[in-house]
Structure 1
């Protein structure tokens, strides 16, 4: 109906401009309009050029801003042919927290070449859909944030009107893509007129919060849960690549078990590599339930490597390997025994039996020597040396050194015995005796070991024995 009326008026002015006697005329779509706080609206403005030539007209709104309301013109300069018209739009905007009011604006059209001008007034009413608005929304951090950090979210709720607000609700959501990772809900009691309430929440991102752009939004809802206002901010979560390693060894009597744990402390999946090295000589003592990915050997060491392609944030991988100490103990025990025997051989009393190589023939004497030496650093007492001569040989009654204390015929041969009260440290005695075959000998004949018995410094009876000797015919 309004458009039909406007077209009728426009037609009258086109047909009878001389009657009106104006060079320019301006018509508004309506002289009264309304907008809601936080929204914008527009009206159409038509300008008539009643002159006999084409002209440019400047479109203005006065005041361009009044209170919280701002204006804008779609095309502030209209080029209009003679006896013709053109239209543009004027927009009005009010912020979300604007109070309700009625404002008058003047819309003018002025020729840029002549003094021709015209104007019309419009009344604008600013209305509120809800009493309370979100006047501000802040984060205590912007740009980037790291896992395990906290974020303070502050919302300013304002009642710009002159009346008490109703009870309402706010909801704060923390979202990654379309997934909500955290939220806060609260019922807000009525806010006094012309006052602001500040509400803050602290959100703690997890230790392994996923990287990406997070949206922080606040929603204001009425008592019926209808959305009345919304604001949001964004913040980026950094990519963190970080791992931690723990290792320890439990040593028992029979084995040593080493455990290695590696944890993904970051917020993205990562590949993990575990390595360990052991000396090459314990390779055969190495056992593990987890087959190594790679084994390399260099400079007397063996390195084992376990590869895990993708470990999720917060997950850990673990390997265990064992060194069997039983074999080590056996090896060490054998080594100790060898050392002790070698020590005794090198540093203890010794007896060596030998003879001068000759071809043994019937009636020809063979000289046998027994060399007894005390290699330890203390005296040995009650030294008794015994040697046995098989019955095949006869013992000569001539002795080049000390004569035996006894020469005793026994079954199968003769026993020679020498006795000394003591042997001092590093003292050596050489005992010799002669034997001769009672018959012709062919091949090889073995003379048995010689024995030495003595008391050590602890008065314990000890004995040593020589090696046997072979006589070749």
Structure 2
């Protein structure tokens, strides 16, 4: 009597989903459905689902120990992290339904893309961007170096993980793990506006000191009110000249405002010339040695009352020094309500 042995194999063991390593650059996933038993499957209908794709209503026959290949387009596969992904299959056969499963493997691709830009002059911006163009997690490092001076005016969009110093150089270091398609951006801004303003102010200060101390003659003009018996408007004009170095052929010219007259009496040194037509008074002092001074004082008056601010022009001193002619002006003065402001 012949005997026949029948082995019942569950569907999930009879049919298996598997794959080799898929190249992420191809944007196509290849996987297989393998028949592991010595039996043919007719009119299979399978709906596949995974985190990468959904593939429905796949109808086919599968002979004993044979394999069916599936190629499925997957958009931006190169941006998906490498590794294994579960695929489920809902199988419909004549005898009923069942589930099968397996894994799809995505191969590794490594790559970090770096872009760097520098913009601006007074406000200098240095931007460094690291992008993971692979499909595995990678650690990136960014280093920004600054001098001991420029670092004082530099700020960052992200705080560095570490700071090292080497003599006059300071290095700022960032470390970060990036997944596929992730980016890491560091922006360093160095603002030179403040040091530039300080430099300009210092320049003006030095220029002012240099100009002040380079003057060979100092001329100071002042005015003060004078009381008169008739109540006329009158001012005493004083001009003081001091030589800071040996100078020759020194002369002083002072202009007379149009609304006033010059009193004929001069308190100190009489002028060499009073030009009423051009309204100028001139003194000639000859040569002056360093430290030597001359003081001029005279009175101007007017029978017409002056209301408000009364301005007087600057006095001018002309002299020679080492065969060159120089000209120096005094300060500006004006009279207002018995006050003299300079």
Task: Please indicate the TM-score interval, normalised by the length of the shorter structure.
Answer: 0.3 to 0.5
Higher relative contact order (CA 8 A, sep 6+): 2
Q: Normalised by the size of structure 2, how large is the TM-score?
A: 0.45
Larger Rg computed on CA atoms: 1
Q: Normalised by the size of structure 1, how large is the TM-score?
A: 0.34
